[in-house]
Structure 1
Amino acid sequence: MHGRHSHHLARTSLKSPIEQKGSEMIDQTHQSTTMQAITMKRAGSADRLTLSEVPTPVPDPGDLLVRIHAATVTRGDVVMRKMPKLVARLFGERPRTIPGYEYAGVVESLGSRAEGYTVGDRVFGTTSGLRQGSYAEYIAVPANGMVVSIPEGVGFGEAAPVPVGAMAAFDFLCLGGAGERSRVLINGASGSVGTFAVQIAKHLGSHVTGVAGSSNVELVAALGADDVIDYTKDDPVNSGRIFDVIFDAVGKTSEKQMNHLLAEGGRFVTTKARRRETRKSLLAVRDLLASGAITPVVDRTYALAEVTEAHRHVEQGHKRGNILIRIDG
């Protein structure tokens, strides 16, 4: 299977037998002691990502063992792949052999002190701070950590892209003070964070102007943007418009460049700034997903064995929305 071009709003593409059979319990006696995973021993090019057989993680007492059905490739995954371990530690990141930041799957088993979930529950979340990433068939995650249940009617392929992109969009828009009748400019409105930001800003009642290239103008408008600036034809810096919030969802501008477009008391926010993930934000975007206020845009879908190809696509810098990884086992 090669990476499939989708360019659609996902609703949803990755239905598994567990979803189709409702709350059918998983027989833990057949759980394998090894699993397929993408490993990377040294920082560098996408060619260093290798499909390997590794031990299946054993959950600690407070953990859930999750059978992963979908993961993603984000810009952050590409940055971390290239970053030497020493540099990663300086930035507060935990280098790991198995990459991947977000996932969606099914609870396969629980540690003796894990609470709030049962075997068969569908969950999604991030791997921030964990020893292992999401490019694998299984992952052990703290039950009280960055993991929440998937809303009913939402599939794995729709849930997996939400934790990183939607949480970043939500947190930065809230930091910028976006709300009812706010004039919001979103730079990079066709990427993962940007496509979620357009939808969330509209949900908050803002007037949204998105910035995108010619090939993505229609997509951004379809997501609800009131205006779209085609940066290949018009420079948003010279637009002469005034905004209450400017959100650079791709980290390519600066407050100094954009300051003259801000209204008095307006705020510039950018994904270049560091932020702390919270379960409160994850629950907030889960509610947005459940209500239909946000739906991820899926550019392409790859198999686990095609992660190298997926990384190369993201590295080119022109993905629309999100890149999904199927992990069907």
Structure 2
Amino acid sequence: MKAVVYTTYGSPDVLQLKEVKKPTPKDNEVLVKVHAVSANAADLHLLRADPFLTRLMSGLLKPKNTILGSDIAGRIEAVGRNVKEFQAGDEVFGDISGCGWGGFAEYVSVPEHVLVLKPANRTFEQAAAVPMAAVTALQGIRDKGQIQAGQKVLINGASGGVGTFAVQIAKSFGAEVTAVCSTGKINMVRALGADHVIDYTQEDFTKNGQQYDLIIAANGYHSILEYKKSLNPTGIYVMTGGSMAQMFQAMLLGPWISMTGSKKMHNAMAKPNQKDLTFIKELLEAGTIVPVIDRKYPLCKVPEALRYLEEGHAIGKVIITVEGNC
């Protein structure tokens, strides 16, 4: 089968399209013919081994798993003898980052518990856009953010992969949502349901005097103290993405700020699980959330897709369509 492989850390230039051995499913696994897979910031972190601490998990000198890609959508081709939930022919999607990655390939073999059935009313490309970003948004808003109906929620980075889902999920919980994005993305974010939109090129939300019950930082470069200033006295801040400085501040300063005051500062690292993905699937089926797809690339153009994603201007998700000619 064809797969996009990397054997050394570096830029997208180190990725190569190669012929590799097609996997065989173990007793508790299913073999999925991949139709679409999305590109995520997590792929870039692993590719570049940035931050350096990722090497402790992914391999100190070279990557242990040589095929990136976590969010897959496809059709099951074969099942292991102990598989109970699925059968050959089922259309499925899921986040496979917890079981070795491998989505940038024509086939992948994964445990059945990481997948759910694809909504019939969504394409493979739409389904592949969902797992990591939507579950990250859900866990940040519901679990870390403890959202309540009627709360004022601000989402910084509202036009990105996590942000577009965060706007829609926060609205589904009955929140009053303020979205922060750039000028050209305002209409799209409003269409997702945002009640208010702040153009960060024209206004700094940390300096306008407004305070929020919950802030989701899906992108951006504000310091954790600036976010703290924009919270109400019992507000919650949840970092789901952004600059490296922002991530380290959330991990290192967040716990201290939370212990010494009434405002809570959290770092949300998504934990893929079937239950939350099933919840997201139901929102997809109901039309409560709709994936936003910016661009699609064929499998042989994964390096170009990751370069575009790394520029930081993608609207929603960047998708790799595995079938088709380059």
- Check whether TM > 0.5: yes
Q: Establish whether residue 296 from structure 1 lines up as the match of residue 262 from structure 2.
A: no
When residues 96 and 49 of structure 1 are mapped into structure 2, their CA distance, relative to the original with a 3 A threshold, is same
Structure 1 SS opposite 2:190: helix
When residues 96 and 287 of structure 1 are mapped into structure 2, their CA distance, relative to the original with a 3 A threshold, is same
Q: Partner of 1:276 in structure 2?
A: 271
When residues 84 and 205 of structure 1 are mapped into structure 2, their CA distance, relative to the original with a 3 A threshold, is closer
Question: Which letter does structure 2 place at the counterpart of 1:64?
Answer: V
Equivalent of 1:102 in 71, 92, 100:
71
Offset of residue 179 of structure 1: 2.7
What is the CA–CA distance in structure 1 between the aligned matches of 2:50 and 2:163, rounded to whole Å? 28
What is the CA–CA distance in structure 2 between the aligned matches of 1:132 and 1:172, rounded to whole Å? 22
Q: Partner of 1:28 in structure 2?
A: none
Offset of residue 115 of structure 1: 1.1
Structure 1 SS opposite 2:219: coil
Report if the CA contact (8 A) 1:297-1:320 is conserved.
yes
Per-residue CA deviation, residues 259-298 of structure 1 (Å, 9 max, x unaligned), is 1221222101011423422222111111111111111111
Question: Which letter does structure 2 place at the counterpart of 1:185?
Answer: L
Q: Establish whether residue 82 from structure 1 lines up as the match of residue 82 from structure 2.
A: no
What is the CA–CA distance in structure 1 between the aligned matches of 2:122 and 2:46, rounded to whole Å? 29
Structure 1 SS opposite 2:47: helix
What is the CA–CA distance in structure 1 between the aligned matches of 2:102 and 2:25, rounded to whole Å? 14
Per-residue CA deviation, residues 77-126 of structure 1 (Å, 9 max, x unaligned), is 11211017974242578841011111000010001111111110000001
Give 1:179-198 correspondences, 5 Å limit. 179-198=148-167
Q: How many residues align?
A: 294
Question: Which letter does structure 1 place at the counterpart of 2:186?
Answer: V
Q: Partner of 2:133 in structure 1?
A: 165
Percentage of matched positions with identical amino acids: 39
Q: Partner of 2:306 in structure 1?
A: 311
What is the CA–CA distance in structure 1 between the aligned matches of 2:320 and 2:24, rounded to whole Å? 23
Equivalent of 2:124 in 145, 156, 175:
156
Q: Which has the larger helix fraction? A: 2
Give 1:178-327 correspondences, 5 Å limit. 178-250=147-219, 252-271=221-240, 272=247, 273=267, 274-327=269-322
Give 1:109-188 correspondences, 5 Å limit. 109-144=78-113, 146-174=114-142, 175-188=144-157
Report if the CA contact (8 A) 1:85-1:95 is conserved.
no
Q: Gaps spanning 5+ residues in structure 2: where? A: 241-246, 248-266
Relative CO higher for 1 or 2, CA cutoff 8 Å, sep ≥ 6? 1
Per-residue CA deviation, residues 168-210 of structure 1 (Å, 9 max, x unaligned), is 0110001212231110000000000000000111111100000
Q: Partner of 1:51 in structure 2?
A: 17
Question: Which letter does structure 2 place at the counterpart of 1:108?
Answer: E
Q: Establish whether residue 72 from structure 1 lines up as the match of residue 70 from structure 2.
A: no
- What RMSD, in angstroms, separates the aligned Cα atoms of the two structures? 1.7
What is the CA–CA distance in structure 1 between the aligned matches of 2:58 and 2:102, rounded to whole Å? 16
Offset of residue 150 of structure 1: 0.7
Structure 2 SS opposite 1:129: helix
Report if the CA contact (8 A) 2:135-2:270 is conserved.
no
Report if the CA contact (8 A) 1:89-1:95 is conserved.
no
When residues 215 and 101 of structure 1 are mapped into structure 2, their CA distance, relative to the original with a 3 A threshold, is same
What is the CA–CA distance in structure 2 between the aligned matches of 1:113 and 1:190, rounded to whole Å? 42
Structure 1 SS opposite 2:20: strand
